[in-house]
Amino acid sequence: MILVLHGPNLNLLGTRETDVYGTVTLETINEELEKLARTEGVSVTIRQSNAEGELVDAIQKAVGRFDALVINPGAFTHTSIAIRDAIAAVGIPAVEVHLSNIYRREDFRHQSYIAGVAVGQISGFGTDSYLLGLRAAVSQVKMQQAAKR
Ligand code: DQA
């Protein structure tokens, strides 16, 4: 089971800063994720929240229910020690994803509080960032399962 979390303002994809994020909607991204999950034989649960505390709650509640996490923390990437701490606390492998290449943008986007507790980060490939992120999460789960055998 893989949990996909979308952070603040990602519900506005499709109309939000289309020069940066394109015109793809969150609904379309979610459909693509569900399709890939079916192909990979895994189940995904997808949530979006604009609230930092709700994202922290979702990460905490993932313990015992999910084997890996794909997270686009949105602007909280650059501000949230709370989300970083939650990921570190639960110990569930997390893949950080961004639609845009945060390192080509404003300086304040170059720092991620999440990267240091993530397995890895995928940034700059639009919808593909999520799909690559889901693939990475699936491999993490398979590695965990192999290690248990
Ligand atoms: C983002 C990049 C963040 O800097 C920004 O605040 C977002 C979206 C991305 O997916 O490219 O909301 O996480």
| Ligand 1 atom, smallest distance to 105 CA | 4
CA distances from 108 to 13, 78, 105, 112, 131 (A): 21, 7, 8, 9, 26
- Torsion over CA of 101, 115, 42 and 23, rounded to 10 degrees? -20
Domain residue extents for the chain:
2-148
What pLDDT score does 9 carry?
Answer: 98
CATH of 2-148, one of 3.40.50.9100, 3.40.50.720, 2.60.40.10, 3.30.450.40: 3.40.50.9100
CA 115-118-123 angle, 5° bins? 55
**Would you say the CB of residue 72 lies under 6 angstroms from ligand 1?**
yes
What's the CA-to-centroid distance between 106 and ligand 1, angstroms? 11
What pLDDT score does 101 carry?
Answer: 98
Asked if residue 10 lies in contact with residue 22, where contact means CB atoms within 8 angstroms, the answer is no
pLDDT band at residue 149 under the 50/70/90 scheme = confident
Instruction: Give the active site residues.
Output: 21, 98
**Would you say the CB of residue 135 lies under 6 angstroms from ligand 1?**
no
**Would you say the CB of residue 100 lies under 6 angstroms from ligand 1?**
yes
Helix (H) or strand (E) run with residue 89 in it:
helix 81-90
What pLDDT score does 148 carry?
Answer: 87
pLDDT in tens, 84-119: 999 999 999 999 999 999 999 999 999 999 999 999
pLDDT in tens, 7-52: 999 999 999 999 999 999 999 999 999 999 999 999 999 999 999 9
**Would you say the CB of residue 9 lies under 6 angstroms from ligand 1?**
yes
What pLDDT score does 129 carry?
Answer: 98
